[in-house]
Amino acid sequence: MAFGKNIRTFFEGRWHEGDLPVMRAADHGIWQGSSVFDGARYARGLVPDLALHCRRVNDSARALMITPTMDAGEMEAIIRDGLRAYTPDQAVYIRPMYWAIDGGDLGVNPKEGSTGFAICLEEIALPPDEFQTTVTRTRFRRPVLEDSVCNAKAGCLYPNNARMLVEARNKGFGNALVADAMGNLAESATANVFLVKDGVVFTPIPNGTFLAGITRSRHIANLRADGVTVVETVLTFDDAHAADEVFLSGNFAKVTSVRAFDGTQYRSRQMTERVRKLYWDWAAQAG
């Protein structure tokens, strides 16, 4: 299913216009769910942290026992070439992806070295800066590494996120705050989460149950360089209710302001706007 428009697909060594079919019915990635992807962004004529996203998709493939076939530097060059078809005022979601083609001797395990690769570019606008969302609790939790491939950006993890999001939407909220296996705050259904209290920024410490995102790390580095104290620690849902401000961090939207968490209303957006400005200032300097 296409999410955006003006789609370009890199497959079998060249760029194609449109949403090209790339998988076959018997591919392991279809019926066994062995697929990984990463998401980068082209916006304002910039492609922040593209090299890190290319490296991470290779790391994700290895975590899911898929053999990466593309050097991260070569992948980055291909993506930059594909983006020449877009103008700086077009925002593009960039997805390099791998999937296993053949299964091993029992069919369940992916066969080493049998890998599909594609890159999908889709024009999708960034949400407007003034956009705010609301969040609620969900009964679904993040898995642990012993249960699932939490150290990969793997397609097989997303049905659980979808359950969280659908539950939240059915309750009238835009997103969900999610617990880890211990019942502590982990992230939202779609992005990492930050709390602000008395000018200090808090975020859940990575504990193997959620992917600590590239954009999350960039926000932490930018805030600390700007003199803001950022604390990675164990957080509860009570901490979220007691916060002065809450925002979400993900590559798709970069920064999303949270207006309310269940019955708690947040009046401030000061740190959210600071984070956003710091991010785009950094991106412009990084090139």
What is the rounded CA–CA span in Å between residue 214 and residue 250? 8
55, 73: one domain: yes
32, 58: one domain: yes
What is the rounded CA–CA span in Å between residue 221 and residue 182? 28
61, 200: one domain: no
136, 273: one domain: yes
Note down the domain range covering 12.
5-123
Cα-only R_g, the chain: 19
177, 58: one domain: no
Which residues, 6 or more positions from 111, have their beta carbon under 8 angstroms from its beta carbon?
28, 100, 101, 102, 103, 104
97-107 confidence digits (pLDDT tens): 999 999 988 88
168-214 confidence digits (pLDDT tens): 999 999 999 999 999 999 999 999 999 999 999 999 999 999 999 99
Which of 123, 140, 159 is a domain's end point? 123
148, 272: one domain: yes
211, 240: one domain: yes
215-272 confidence digits (pLDDT tens): 999 999 999 999 999 999 999 999 999 999 999 999 999 999 999 999 999 998 999 9
Most distant pair of Cα atoms in the chain: their distance: 58
Which of 93, 123, 153 is a domain's end point? 123
115, 29: one domain: yes
Q: Which of the four pLDDT bands, split at 50, 70 and 90, describes residue 10?
A: very high
CATH number at residue 262: 3.20.10.10
What is the rounded CA–CA span in Å between residue 160 and residue 8? 28
Split into its structural domains, the chain has a count of: 2
Helix 50-63 vs helix 214-225: crossing angle, to nearest 10? 140
H or E element, residue 100: strand 92-100
Which residues, 6 or more positions from 74, have their beta carbon under 8 angstroms from its beta carbon?
none
Give counts: helices (H), strands (E), the chain.
7, 15
Which of 62, 88, 123 is a domain's end point? 123
Give the rounded distance of the alpha carbon of 198 from its chain centre: 28
What is the rounded CA–CA span in Å between residue 52 and residue 147? 26
The reply to whether the predicted model has a pTM over 0.85 is yes
Comparing C-alpha atoms, which of 120, 81, 79 is closest to residue 99?
120
H or E element, residue 17: strand 14-17
67-112 confidence digits (pLDDT tens): 999 999 999 999 999 999 999 999 999 999 999 999 988 889 999 9
151, 262: one domain: yes
In this predicted structure, what is the pLDDT of residue 219? 98
- Both tokens of 68, joined, read 């990466």
219, 137: one domain: yes
136, 277: one domain: yes
52, 73: one domain: yes
Residue type, 167: E
Rounded (to 5) percent helix, strand, coil in the chain = 30, 30, 40
